[in-house]
Structure 1
Amino acid sequence: MAHEPQPEMRIGDAEREDGLRALGEHMAAGRLTVDEYGDRSAKVATARTRGELLSLFTDLPDPRPRFHAPPPAFAAPPPMPMPYLPSRPLGLRLSSALVPIAIVAGVFMAFRFGFFPFIVLPIIVAVLVNRSNNDWRRRHLGRGRR
């Protein structure tokens, strides 16, 4: 293997894994003992530069770690187009706010005036608001109950 340029260039996990793989091949071939493999593997795991990594292979033939150009970065997939959702008209948005108001008003009037059928008021408002929202969805989005 030719002398690797730039011995002070920092390495990453891919180069360390390549070094560990090469050490494993040398141990399998009988060139390294288990203890030597353990010592060198620990040094590979902490190596920060090409020079530090290659210094562990000076007394060994090929295979040695290879320093390839970094793989091209994968471009992020294009964002999924958002479906067009027309905004609900102001009247429908305000009618949705009527449901919690109707709950508070119904409970207040039931206890204030002692006429407990006022508790039904929020249910009536919720049904009417839900019906108008479903009608709008059906017309504009093709969804909703039928």
Structure 2
Amino acid sequence: MTEVPSPQLRISDQNRESALSALGEHMSAGRIDIEEYGERSARITAAKTRGELVELFADLPAPHPQYEEVRQAVAAPEPAAAPVPAAPRTPDQWSPPQRFLAAIVPLAFIAAIALIATGTLAWPIIFVPIGLTVFGKSMWGHDWNHDQHHRDRRDRHLRDRDRRRELRDSFRDHRRGLDR
């Protein structure tokens, strides 16, 4: 038996993209007009939970937003035409200084907090672990502790955001044409 997700579950940009695509199909089929499309697409863009999306499609037949397909789309590889940056080194590929710093930074934070809490040293001691973190980033770059998945997800987010903006702008241009 499959569990039905809560309507309060927060949605992702991919869920919004799926909803906009389904709404476009309804407009193409003539179930909704351009004004209603504009109103609903604005609500989709502002939606935060699954319940808000379900409400927008309650009076429409399929297609509806597909949550499972969106999860699979996230795992799909990028097209081969896009340049693939070199993957960051995994912890087992780190140099000895990187391993040492990765081990000492959390310990330095714990020690600084303990020393501040006991009153042994003043609060500026917290700058020691912060300084170690800044040192690590300056030595090995910003991505020394990030993996390729995070960069890919950010790139997808930026592409999706740009596509939503294009849809919004084309709708506004179309609406201005109707108002004249």
Q: Does 1 or 2 have the higher relative contact order (CA < 8 Å, sep 6+)?
A: 2
TM-score by length of structure 2 reads: 0.39
Structure having the higher Rg: 1
